[in-house]
Amino acid sequence: METIESVIFDWGGVLIDDPRPGLLRYCADAFGVSQELYTPVHDSFLDEFGKGLISEEEFWQGISRKLGKPAPQVSSLWSAAFRSACKPRAEMFGLASSLHKRGYKTALLSNTELPAVEFFHEFGYDMFDALVFSCEQGVAKPEPRIYEITLEKLGSKAARSVFIDDRQDCIQGAKAVGLHTILFTGIGQLKRDLIRLGVK
């Protein structure tokens, strides 16, 4: 096995708690409907929004039409919802920073939306050599191209890189382009799996 030189992290569910449950609750409440009613409507527009193919305004207009409810009049409902749901994992950011300081190339690869990206930049994180967001690339995990873009930005080969995600479909997408992968369940397990790959 080639020596690992690059470590690629997912954001939601790895570096932060999975924001989806809290975000769905927040948005359903904003529309005044149950989460059960809201969720499938939300998801029917999410792929396009997450790839930057529609604007936030168009996303809420579509949901509003399907629900038969007026869209909440706030500057960015997504930003407000995401901020309320985002719970960073300090240990995970610490691990990314430690790897970066030890000379590993590091990247963040996330399926996410423009208001969340803007929020991410507010933190001023300096432990990533590359940031790849689906909404800026027009493609999303598990599509092969987004992993290839990440490797290009890092200047790394798939065989010398490891990708960490909490979703099996995204792991499978990474494997398909030749990346080493770790399905994330917790920081202890992640550290053990990194050591097994020779990452110190």
Q: Residue 2 pLDDT > 90, yes or no?
A: no
Average pLDDT score over the chain: 96
Q: What is the predicted pLDDT for the residue at 34?
A: 97
Q: Are residues 111 and 186 in the same domain?
A: yes
In a domain, 181, yes or no: yes
Q: Residue 1 pLDDT > 80, yes or no?
A: no
Instruction: Specify the residue for token string 């939306």.
Output: 113
**Domain limits at 140?**
6-17+87-196
Query: How many angstroms separate the CA atoms of 30 and 144, rounded?
Result: 35
- The residue out of 85, 101, 122 marking a domain boundary is 85
How do residues 135-150 score in pLDDT, each as one tens digit?
A: 999 999 999 999 999 9
- Comparing 37-46, 51-60, 69-78, 167-176, which segment has the lowest mean pLDDT? 69-78
How do residues 50-72 score in pLDDT, each as one tens digit?
A: 999 999 999 999 999 999 999 88
In a domain, 104, yes or no: yes
Q: Are residues 24 and 41 in the same domain?
A: yes
What is the domain-level CATH number for residue 179?
3.40.50.1000
Q: Are residues 62 and 157 in the same domain?
A: no
In a domain, 1, yes or no: no
Instruction: Count Cβ atoms within 10 A of the Cβ of residue 169 and give its class: 0-12 exposed, 13-18 middle, 19 or more buried.
Output: exposed
Query: pTM of whole model > 0.85?
Result: yes
Query: How many angstroms separate the CA atoms of 180 and 32, rounded?
Result: 44
